[in-house]
Amino acid sequence: MRIIPSIALALTIGVGTVALPVKGYAADEVTTMPRQAPGFYKWTLGNFAITSLSDGTFDLPVDQLLIGPEPGEVAAAFELAFAKLPMEMSVNAFLIDTGAQLILVDAGGGSLYGPTLGQTQQNLIAAGYQPDQVDLVLLTHIHGDHSGGLSIEGKPAYPNAKVWVGQGDIDFFTDPDKKEAAAGLDELNFSAAQSLLSAYQEAGQLVAFSGEREIVPGVRALPAIGHSTGHTVYAIESEGESLVLLGDLLHVPQVQFAHPEYSMVFDLDQDEAAAVRKTVLDGASGKRQWIAGAHFSFPGIGHLLAKGDGFTYVPAEYSANR
Q: What is the 3-state secondary structure (H, E, C) of 116-137?
A: CCCCHHHHHHHCCCCHHHCCEE
Residue 204 lies in a domain: yes
Average pLDDT value for the chain? 90
pTM: 0.90
Identify residue 193 by its one-letter amino acid code. A
Q: What is the CATH number of the domain that holds 75?
A: 3.60.15.10
Residue 4 lies in a domain: no
Q: What is the dihedral of CA 269, 275, 276, 282, to 10 degrees?
A: 160
Number of domains in the chain: 1
Residue 289 lies in a domain: yes
SS3 (DSSP) at 2: coil
pLDDT band at 187 (very low <50, low <70, confident <90, very high): confident
User: Quick one: which of 5, 124, 58, 50 has its CA closest to 292?
Assistant: 50
Residue 27 lies in a domain: no
Whether the pLDDT of residue 22 is over 50: the answer is no
pLDDT the model gives residue 206 = 96
| Residues 6+ positions from 54 with CB-CB distance below 8 Å | 39, 40, 90, 91, 92, 119, 120, 123, 298, 299
Higher pLDDT, 28 or 51: 51
Q: What percent of the chain has pLDDT over 90?
A: 77
Contact 234, 244 (CB under 8 A): yes
Residue 23 lies in a domain: no
DSSP string, 8-32: HHHHHHHHHHTTS--TT-SGGGPPP
Higher pLDDT, 38 or 196: 38
Which structural domain, as residue segments, surrounds residue 304? 41-315
